[in-house]
Amino acid sequence: MREIVVDTETTGLDPTEGHRIVEIGCVELKHHVPTGRNYQVYINPERDMPEEAERVHGLSSDFLSDKPVFSEIAVDFRDFVADDPVVIHNASFDLKFLNFELGQLEAEPILPEQSVDTLMIARRKYPGAPASLDALCKRFQIDASERTVHGALLDAELLAQVYLELIGGAQPGLSFSDRGEAAAGNGGRKLVARAPRPTPLPSLVTEQEAKAHKEFLDALPVPALWNSGK
């Protein structure tokens, strides 16, 4: 199963008021393991950057002035996400912006039923407790020390770890600390040798089934390999 953890940074709170996306970050998971395949892009919003937004993510108008506009990255972004589930913290916010931008280009939207909202999962699992990304990182002892400002790819990587904890706990040895590390070997998982059981489990084969199996083997024109003495 492929899932895409998505985060965006914007110039404000509402695209219908002229606010735009300035960064998209995505982390690919397969069977709840990071593959090391990520997608990140800065976007020229074709407008000014409000001071309060710049304080949140640190992206200035000057920095974004030479970056591609959304129409130039839309196909690559949509191809990366494809039709797989998207994992988003407060999905209604990010989808509102993403689908506004995609709608301007008459491109295929990301459907609400395609999304997994970690904010809703956290609120159901821990009612009344803080459910921001920072609060959940603290709850699960996830290192968010690099998060001095919001960044879409960093936040997506942190959210991926939070998501795995919310749905039952991360794989042993799962690490996002080295970009792309999970793409090699066993996806960042540690293989643990298990000791044999002290008492073997009883056989689930009945005497009748064992007898029928023996009769079948005896009737074969050539002895079964494991009974041939080879």
Contact (CB, 8 A) for 29 and 5: yes
Instruction: Give the contacts of 113 (CB within 8 A, at least 6 positions apart).
Output: none
Instruction: Give the contacts of 140 (CB within 8 A, at least 6 positions apart).
Output: 161, 162, 165
Rounded Cα gap, residues 31 and 44, in angstroms: 34
The token pair at 144 is: 């968010």
pTM for this prediction: 0.73
Q: Among the residues of 126-183, which ranges form H helices?
A: 133-139, 152-166
So what's the pLDDT on residue 197? 45
For the beta sheet containing 115-117, the strands, ordered from the edge strand earlier in sequence to the opposite edge, are 33-42, 21-30, 2-10, 86-88, 115-117
**6 in helix, strand or coil?**
strand
pLDDT digits 0-9 by tens, 52-109 = 999 999 999 999 999 999 999 999 999 999 999 999 999 999 999 999 999 999 999 9
Residues 2-183, CATH architecture: 2-Layer Sandwich (3.30)
Domain ranges in the chain are 2-183
Nearest one of 87, 102, 92 to 21, comparing CA atoms = 102
The residue that leads in pLDDT, 139 or 179, is: 139
Rounded Cα gap, residues 27 and 102, in angstroms: 20
pLDDT digits 0-9 by tens, 122-167 = 999 999 999 999 999 999 999 988 876 789 999 999 999 999 999 9
The token pair at 58 is: 């640190």
Nearest one of 206, 203, 228 to 217, comparing CA atoms = 228
Rounded Cα gap, residues 171 and 192, in angstroms: 12
Residues tagged active-site: 150
In the predicted model, is pLDDT for residue 10 greater than 80?
yes
Instruction: Give the contacts of 190 (CB within 8 A, at least 6 positions apart).
Output: 172, 173
Q: Are strands 21-30 and 2-10 parallel, antiparallel or unpaired?
A: antiparallel
The token pair at 156 is: 């997506």
